[in-house]
Structure 1
Amino acid sequence: MKVATIGFTQTSAKHFFDRLKMSGSEKLIDVRLNNTSQLSGFAKAKDLEYFSWELCGVRYIHEPILAPTQKILDAFKKQKGDWATYRVQFLDLMATRSIETKVRMDVMDNSCLLCSEARPHNCHRSLVCEYLNTKWGSSLNVVHL
């Protein structure tokens, strides 16, 4: 299964949507807890839904089950926690939620996971892919845009 990942900060709308379109993804899966971000003018849910469809022919889906809790997020972002702790907490959360049984493989296939981080390093979208690959027998072929 082909899965891309993309972040929307530190990029222009043109560069973001060009990359999304070139990926060939059919679905843009928003894995943020809060999808009304002010970090980028085009990253609010309603705008993403419109632009991803109109510019790229890509359907927008919000999947908050693939997002960290506010507590985990705040400890990492606001309290400047370390990545190793965040990683363990988020992987444990996904296991507790049993996301591998709640997110269908066909939904993930030919999709692009979206969050705010510009790069996939130290970003939970990478952890989602890592976790699902451990549960689904490394069936995800992940490309970071």
Structure 2
Amino acid sequence: MSISGIGYEGLALDAFVSKLRVRGIQTLVDVRLNAISRKRGFSKRALAEALGVAGIAYVHLPALGNQRDNRAGYGELESDLANEVRDRFRQQLRSEAAMTALNEVAALAQAGEVVLFCYEQDERHCHREQVLELLRSLMSRDLVKS
């Protein structure tokens, strides 16, 4: 059981899919609010098709996406704005829709290798870092029996 993250920044579609196959990914979970891209092949339909050909399932969970007005501070790592936007997103992850989506990802991870997908290559500059933190925390609690 494994959940990791990946960004497509700087990658062509073929290289991206190859990277997933080498890692043994079975399911890609798209955590973009809107699964569109100006980069060829990375919008929802084209990406799902390319992944399907490679034997990788595609799941889009917009409830785990970051709102457009909460993205500016992600370019920074240590500032008041950086902390503010990350804290705001952590609060968003506590919504009912986000918790349902998190549970879906956890269930997928029980079945095989899952990767959370967004644009940024460096996870520290992406909201998926907070999604992964919360998922790992929730899953470790479920796996530890009292």
In 2, are the aligned partners of 1:30 and 1:63 still within 8 Å (CA)?
A: yes
Cα distance in 2 for partners of 1:41, 1:101 equals 31
State how many pairs are aligned. Answer: 135
- Can you give the 5+ residue segments of structure 1 that lack an aligned partner in the other structure? 141-145
- 1:83–1:50 CA distance, 2 compared to 1 (3 A): same
**If the length of structure 2 is used for normalisation, what is the TM-score?**
0.80
1:65 CA drift (Å): 0.9
Q: Measured at CA, do residues 136 and 35 of structure 1 come closer, stay the same or move farther in structure 2, by a change above 3 Å?
A: same
Structure 1 segment 56-71 matched on structure 2, within 5 A: 56-71=54-69
Structure ranking higher in helix proportion:
2
Once residues 47 and 96 of structure 1 are traced to their aligned partners in structure 2, the CA distance between those partners, rounded to angstroms, is 30
Code of the residue aligned with 1:48 in structure 2: it is L
Give 1:136's match in structure 2, choosing from 124, 136, 139. 139
**Displacement of 1:46:** 0.7
Residue type matched to 1:86 in 2? Answer: V
- 1:99-138 correspondence to structure 2 within 5 Å: 99-102=98-101, 103-104=103-104, 105-109=106-110, 110-137=113-140
Percent of aligned pairs sharing the same letter: 25
Ranges of 4+ aligned residues in structure 1 off by more than 4 Å = none
User: Could you tell me how far 1:13 is from its partner in structure 2?
Assistant: 2.1
TM-score by length of 1: 0.80
- Offset at 1:132? 1.6
3-state SS, counterpart of residue 6 of structure 2: strand
For residues 7 and 139 of structure 1, what CA distance do their matches in structure 2 show? 28
Residues 1:22 and 1:139: Cα distance change in structure 2 (over 3 Å):
farther
Q: What SS does structure 1 have at the residue aligned with 2:22?
A: helix
How far does residue 137 in structure 1 lie from its aligned partner after superposition?
A: 2.2
Q: Secondary structure at the match of 1:137?
A: helix
* Structure 1 position 97, deviation (Å): 3.5
Residue 138 of structure 1 deviates from its aligned partner by 6.3
Asked if structure 1 preserves the Cα contact closer than 8 Å seen for 2:63 and 2:97, the reply is no
CA distance in 2, matches of 1:126, 1:139: 20
Offset of 1:90 from its aligned partner? 0.5
Structure 2 segments unaligned to the other structure (5+ residues): 75-79
1:65-104 matches, within 5 Å, as: 65-73=63-71, 75-76=72-73, 82-97=81-96, 99-102=98-101, 103-104=103-104
Which gives a bigger RCO, structure 1 or 2 (Cα 8 Å, sep 6+)? 1
- Alignment CA distance shift 1:62-1:98 (3 Å): closer
CA deviation map 1:41-76 (0-9, x unaligned)? 11110110011111x210111000111123323x54
